[in-house]
Amino acid sequence: MSKNLLPKHIAIIPDGNRRWAKSRGKSALEGHKFAIEQTMSKLFDTIQELEIPFCTIWLLSPENFVKRSKGEVKNLLFLLKFFLKKKIKELDRKGIRLKVIGNMHDLPKDIQDELNKAIETTKSNSKTTITFAINYGGRDEIIRTINKILKNNKSDSLNSETFSEYLDTKEIPDPDLIIRTGGEKRTSGFLPWQSEYSEYIFLDTLFPDFTQKALRDCVDEYLKRMRRFGK
């Protein structure tokens, strides 16, 4: 693999945790737990082995908070908090900087506190940036961006560069490759502005079964594609 041709930013829509658990006679919580503790941690290791500087993973959308049971959402947030408490020192030691995109203000205070602590702990790291999209929705981000511009921007004109500076991802390059597991072939409003020229790979594999080899295979597929960027 040529390092110069590798994607700089891989984003992942990790779909299929509940179906994976159901197929094994387990609870949805056990599916999410396996995904966070096992699958996600190993994928981060592979991201570092490939020397890919940015990775974003979509953990929760605003719709999840409304359409899933309160118990499941509570469990998901508990698992996130547990992951941060257990893994933050390891992430820091590996040179990983943690960032968060999405509407954090609507999250429970203890989750906000844990996320802010993790962000502060890892803010000086520069080897790899892992971004959690939590309570993130594409339309919500665009609306929040417009409101920030209306409040802060004094210019009479607006261009794409200015708009991008107000997005949640203002310090993160646009994703080169977006991978969705779980068999669905839709974007569900994930990074709509940033994904204009992203390459997509849709996999039938349920996220807990998304292995390190599968991630490498996706990168190999990406390297076979010719990116024209409108040319």
Sheet of strand 177-180, all strands in order from the earlier edge strand to the far edge: 96-101, 128-133, 54-58, 9-13, 177-180, 199-202
Query: Is residue 64 annotated as part of the catalytic site, yes or no?
Result: yes
Kindly list the distances between the CA atom of residue 156 and the CA atoms of 103, 153, 164, in Å, as whole numbers in the listed order.
Answer: 27, 8, 16
Active-site residue, from 64, 103, 125, 153: 64
Active-site residue, from 15, 140, 168, 176: 15
Tally Cβ neighbours within 10 Å of residue 155: 8
Query: Is residue 15 annotated as part of the catalytic site, yes or no?
Result: yes
- CA 17-204-87 angle, 5° bins: 40
CA quadruple 48, 141, 39, 125: dihedral sign: positive
Give the active site residues.
15, 64
